[in-house]
Amino acid sequence: MQAFPVTMPSGSRYWTVVDEEFTPVPVADRWLLHLRFGRSRAELTTKAYAEAVALFLVWCRRTGRDWRVAAADLGLFIVWLQHTPSGPSRQVAPGPGGALVRRERQVNKILTAVRGLLTFAVSVEEAPSAVVGQLYEVADAWDLPVAARGEGPGPRCRLGVQHRLQEPENPVDRASDEEIVALFRACRNARDRLVILLLGRAGLRRGQAAGLLRQDCHLLADARALGCAEPGAHLHVVRRQNANGAWSKSRASWTAPVDFLVVQAFDQYADERQALIGTGGSEFLLVNLFRGPAGAPMPPQAFNALLSELTRRAGLDRMITPHMLRHAMASNVADAGASLDELQALLGHRSPYSSQPYLHPSRDRLRDAVARVPSPRELADRSAR
């Protein structure tokens, strides 16, 4: 069993699961096809899910289990995932007590895909309905954030997963202003400088930046000349199927305002692109200029490779990722006095709660917050008056 890419007649792709004879597994193929086009999931999402389902089916085959009813033994599947390497490795699985092959976060992602497959199989009557009870349990909602509990008095219930490993807390940190400046100075061309500003100044995700078309960039002070009602220079972030695999996590389209620094970087990059490839190249904004095929759109993975190289070149003592730049933008906006609803709109989130993990208050702001609290003597003097 293995994940395998499928190209549709329209040119769109999704990933499925095939056996040793490269025959698709019917239910897995139907589910992954539904995810890609019925629920508008990204191609890379179906790839990750296909790889996870392939592992589950391999485990079922090796242990003599019917995958339709194997949910009762997911605890054993977890142990297998933790201690069994994948691929043509000669390493002997050490079993419990040995070094872990997959950590908690990776195991949980695989379990998410397996639950999705089995739930879909129940819905299309390919698996018994009792499987759902083996995957989920009824739980109260008190452990959820307040914003996610819903309104109204009384207890509220939800479906909780039966099998999930406790993950160590590892929140994404923000890149500091000094680190961003160091990355910017380490850039050797205008395109890379624009990438840094799109992530760290406009707050785009890597998939959103990689998916920008030139027509999405309205950089005039008065965009009405372009037939756009949005004021000022801005970018239109649109969720669409892209040839380079770029994907906007935000389901709804939104606009990202940009300042003069970003506009200036756009101008410099436009001159550089014109000098290197002329009017050719794809309609994507960010394209290959220094490696082949020239003019082809940059894939999202190229952003991580670029940040890794810039981190090394800048001599920083930790690796800076694209998402750390997005966190830096959000923190700087909050430190400048933005409210949570403003931050929500700038990041393209559906809920203000989604924006809270992006807040990394500076040490100076925390100290100022403490300093604003009056002393007990001041409070007593006010009461006496």
Q: Are 31 and 97 in the same domain?
A: yes
pLDDT tens profile 252-276 = 788 899 999 999 999 999 999 999 9
**Domain co-membership, 97 together with 14:** yes
Nearest to 118 by CA among 80, 163, 158, 81: 163
Same domain, 201 and 346: yes
Domain membership of residue 369 (yes or no) is no
One domain for residues 146 and 245: no
**Tokens at 333, concatenated:** 């906006």
Residue 375 located in a structural domain:
no
Task: Flag whether 89 is in a domain.
Answer: yes
- The angle formed by the CA atoms of residues 9, 247 and 120, to the nearest 5 degrees, is 70
Q: Tell me which of 161, 185, 202 is where a domain ends.
A: 161
pLDDT digits (tens, 9 = 90+) for 324-382: 999 999 888 888 888 888 888 888 887 776 677 667 766 777 777 777 777 776 666 66
Residue 147 within a domain? yes
The CATH number linked to 337 is: 1.10.443.10
Q: In this structure, is residue 326 part of a structural domain?
A: yes
How far is 311 from 129, CA to CA, in rounded Å? 51
pTM: 0.66
Digit-coded pLDDT (tens) for 207-222? 999 999 999 999 887 7
Domain identity same for 135 and 41: yes
Residue 218 and residue 96 share a domain: no
| Domain match, 131 and 212 both | no
Residue 90, pLDDT > 50, answer no
Query: What does the pLDDT read at residue 13?
Result: 87
In a domain, 137, yes or no: yes
Backbone phi, psi, residue 72, to 5°? -65, -20
Q: Are residues 31 and 125 in the same domain?
A: yes
Task: Tell whether 257 is covered by a domain.
Answer: yes
- Give the chain's domain count: 2
Q: What is the domain range of residue 155?
A: 2-161
Instruction: Say if residue 218 is in the same domain as residue 356.
Output: yes
> Residues 247, 117: one domain?
no
Residue 236 has pLDDT above 80, yes or no: yes
Residue 379 lies inside a defined structural domain of this protein? no
Burial status of residue 242 (CB atoms within 10 A of its CB: 0-12, 13-18, 19 or more)? buried
